[in-house]
Structure 1
Amino acid sequence: MANPVLININSPCNVRAGGSRDPLSHRLAGEGVGYLVLDENSGTWRADLGKLPAGEHLVYSRARIDTTTSAVATSLFTVEPAASVEWQVVSRNAANDPQAWRPATGLKDWSFLLNTTDHGSGPKTIAARMTEHGAETARDTVLVTFR
């Protein structure tokens, strides 16, 4: 189920530009939510929703001028974590090559295809790691022998 984010836009009847917090920038209803800004060139609004957790989110929005309100509009979107799983094979007891990490598929349930003939025979270490925002946050290894 998506996490709801509610936006209620209250706008004066005569909207004019001027200043950094002019009538085209409206405070959004909701805790931790920033400003709603009108792009006059495209006629669209942009909302700063703050830092949302990974997962599905559903935005509900409605505009109001005086006592007139618009229909509620919704938009479903997914926030993906800035994380990835990578892997590599090295000869046993050898250091990992910082340039040899290969991307795995998936994050929570990840996998990769490995052709053992690409790595020669003998004792090897298969290393897998998770990176978040470019920093390694977890690593695991398994010792194998390729024949």
Structure 2
Amino acid sequence: MSHTRIAELLEARLGEWANAKGVPVVWENISENPPDTLYLQAYAMPATTTTIDLAEKLQVLPGIWQINVVAKAGEGVSVNGARALADEVAALFPAGLALSDGGLTCYISTPPTVYRGITSDTRYSIPVSMSYRAHLITH
């Protein structure tokens, strides 16, 4: 359940920003009908939850938050603004950012990395990836 809440926090921040910029987002498990313009794909990828105290009540919920900036293949990275948009996405999730929902706070725990683009026949995708973690005290 808490990994779901973490994904919702991360998605809400990205969604509000993307709506304000007019950038479409293709969310997880939604039929992809990609636009002809730049768009984003977002994935929260949880890792194994651990406990770090002797009472096993403090849970650590880590994971990776990845946003792909997707453009048409064959247009370069500067003309269509894909590289610039990837840098903006990275700036939206700086290391140390705290996102809270009630008793759960999720922290971006590593600086975002903008990776080299991946080309397919029709798309060029620039991954922006960072680690997150949340601590949760159970009763």
Q: TM-score with structure 1 length normalisation?
A: 0.29
Higher relative contact order (CA 8 A, sep 6+): 2
Q: Would you tell me which structure has more helix in proportion to its own residues?
A: 2
Please give the TM-score of this superposition, normalised by the length of structure 2: 0.31
Rg larger in structure: 1
Higher strand share: 1
